[in-house]
Structure 1
Amino acid sequence: MTQGPGGPTRARAATEERSGSRRDRERPPAPEPLPHPVVDNHCHLDIADGDDWFSTDDALAAASAVGVPRIVQIGCDLPGARWAVEAAATYDALVAGVALHPNEAPRQAAAGTLDEAMAEIEALARTHDKVRAIGETGLDHFRTGEDGRAAQVESFRRHIDLARRLDKTLVIHDRDAHEEVLRVLDEEGAPDRWVMHCFSGDAAFARQCLDRGAHLSFAGTVTFKNAQPLRDALLVVPRDRVLVETDAPFLTPTPYRGRPNASYLVPHTVRAMAEVRGDDLEALCAAVDANTEAAFGGSW
């Protein structure tokens, strides 16, 4: 098998709830394969969750075996964006998204390097036709306080402009910032294709995003017990606008919340989504697969 880029560019501890026991940190078993392939449209193969890093080859093989043969690899900072481009060029199963995460942008601004960093993101976005997305960008009012929010907004505006100029899909991170995300989008003008990554709003916010042309992507959070507003939102999304993702190695779906996540666990989320919506599983999988191609500019 072709060897891709090296190990993770950086280690980052998962922020979801988890037990400290070794047993609870074991990788979950593979689920039953899906009846039709789907795409994991948001994954971080380069980020290690603790010491147990899933190699790119192993992660792709495990995912393909359960009906997830394609992945959108997302870079969140300059090392991650470089890695994403290299990985997409190496593996047929991958395309890439490149950006400065909204929590990375204030760090670059504080260091006086935001212009330089954005120039590199643009250069990477122009490097290869498998760079399909500008993202994840957006706003995060949970981890960044008032002192960093102006830099977040500036960075978000510049990423929107870049997606529009290069005809790339815009992938948005929105944490506790629903109304401001829409305000900035309205002021700048959304690109033709944009995805609300790891959708976290309620049904009313879902309708606002849909009215602006968004695809809404649901992660393992839709399976969490306390996520009824998210399930209510899922119900209002037309079948031709719904996507699925892992955000791996984070947000592992029930019943394995707290263990390392990976694309091979997408079937748990898709099955939960079909149950909530009352959809036939195979029909929903086929729709998600087609929607991902539409959202990210074609097949790969």
Structure 2
Amino acid sequence: MSDYRPAATERPAPPIPPRLAAPAVDAHCHVDLLDVPVAEAVAAARAAGVERLVTVGYSVPSSQWCARVAEEHAEVVAAVAVHPNDAMDADADALGVIAELAALPQVRAVGETGLDYYWKRTDPAVQQEIFRRHIDIAKQLGKALVIHDRDAHADVLRILDEVGPPERTVFHCFSGDLAMAKMCVEKGYFLSFSGTVTFKNAPDVREAAAWTPLDAMLVETDAPFLTPMPYRGHRNGPYLVALTIRAIAALKGVPEEEVATRTAANALQVFGSW
């Protein structure tokens, strides 16, 4: 992956947590970056009660890899895109490949695409144009849209309003506040929460997660990044979505089974059955 993302730590992988009370889905991870065989990552996830994974592309090569792995492993489906921080690489040829991959049956979404103003690596105008093109691919093919939105909330929402969103739109690793969560839910978007909800420096995200209705929520790891507490700084894996589910259940004051069951059903609604 490009150097705008921090390297995953070399600290030992956290232990597999107790199995969830109901099957769950990791709605966003990068299996190609886990440094373990796919079968091993899937087995660890299943041991924690995480029975399905969405592996997400961020470049043409990673998207090709994700599509191939999703074809080979029944527990995995794929999303494909060029990440906004690499928007300058998304020429007509690259977007043509993304469109071809997105048409495959095991590829269920276009993403992660969107805007990232934090790293200041790519001209915002270029990012916005490439975001629009990804949205168009998703709409043409009837696939879900998985959005990367970092420090760009207003422009992401504006562009979705201007061009019209796909029928199923997901804000990956939701990073907005309560007001933004309410706007997104009103528009019918799904909010996907990661291990960030366990971080002490993310009170706005916790407030948004506590409020977001379960029927508008997904859960994810973004593995190998954003490892939930108490293992922040260690390498993340899809199996650790169990910790995020338990944290959300505690925020909402509901059983973990309810969070796992509802978010898994939402994932099937967004990405289709697998």
Report the counterpart of residue 87 of structure 1 in structure 2: 69
**Aligned pair in 2 of structure 1 residues 17, 26: CA closer, same or farther (>3 Å)?**
closer
TM-score, with length taken from structure 1 = 0.88
**Is 1:293 aligned to residue 238 of structure 2?**
no
Q: 1:144, CA displacement in angstroms? A: 2.5
State the alpha-carbon separation in 2 of the partners of residues 94 and 60 from structure 1: 8
Q: Which runs of 5+ in 2 are unaligned?
A: none
Query: 1:121 offset after TM fit, Å?
Result: 0.4
Q: Does 1:274 align with 2:257?
A: no
Partner Cα distance (2:139, 2:70) in 1: 22
Residue identity (%): 49
User: What is the total number of aligned residue pairs between the two structures?
Assistant: 274
Q: 1:279 deviation in Å?
A: 1.3
What is residue 103 of structure 1 aligned with on the other side? Answer: 85
Aligned twin of 1:55: 37
SS of 1:104's equivalent in the other structure is helix
- Tell me how large the CA RMSD over aligned residues is: 1.7
Rg larger in 1 or in 2? 1
Q: Is the alpha carbon distance of 1:192 and 1:123 closer, same or farther for their aligned partners in structure 2, counting shifts above 3 Å?
A: same
The one-letter amino acid of 1:203's match is L
Q: Which residue identity is paired with 1:131?
A: V
> Is the aligned partner of 1:264 residue 2:213?
no
Deviation digits for residues 248-275 of structure 1 (CA, Å, limit 9, x no counterpart):
0000000000000001111111100000
Match of 2:119 among 133, 137, 143: 143
CA distance in 2, matches of 1:273, 1:223: 9
Post-superposition offset of 1:236: 2.0
Contact 1:17 1:257 in 2 (8 A): no
Cα shift readout 1:45-85 (whole Å, capped 9, x = no counterpart) = 1125xxxx121111000000110011001010011000011
Deviates more, 1:206-215 or 1:196-205: 206-215
Unmatched runs of 5 consecutive residues or more in structure 1? 1-9
Native 8 Å contact 1:71 1:95 kept in 2: yes
Structure 1 residues 89, 136: CA separation in 2 closer, same or farther (over 3 Å shift)? same
Task: Tell me which residue corresponds to 1:5.
Answer: none
Q: Which residue of 1 aligns with 2:22?
A: 36
The match for 1:76 is: 58
CA distance in 2, matches of 1:142, 1:229: 18
Q: Deviations over 1:2-24 (max 9, x none)?
A: xxxxxxxx587963896xxx6xx
Of 74, 88, 96, the match for 1:119: 96
Deviating 4+ runs (over 3 angstroms): 10-14
- Report the TM-score when normalising by structure 2: 0.96
8 Å CA contact 2:109–2:146 kept in 1: the answer is yes
Give 2:158's aligned residue: 183
Question: Within 1, Cα distance between the matches of 2:254 and 2:47?
Answer: 23
Deviations 1:111-147 (A, max 9, x none): xxx1111011001112x211100000000001125x6
Q: What is aligned with 2:109?
A: 133
- Give me the whole-angstrom Cα distance separating, in 2, the residues matched to 1:211 and 1:163: 21
Structure 2 letter corresponding to 1:64: R
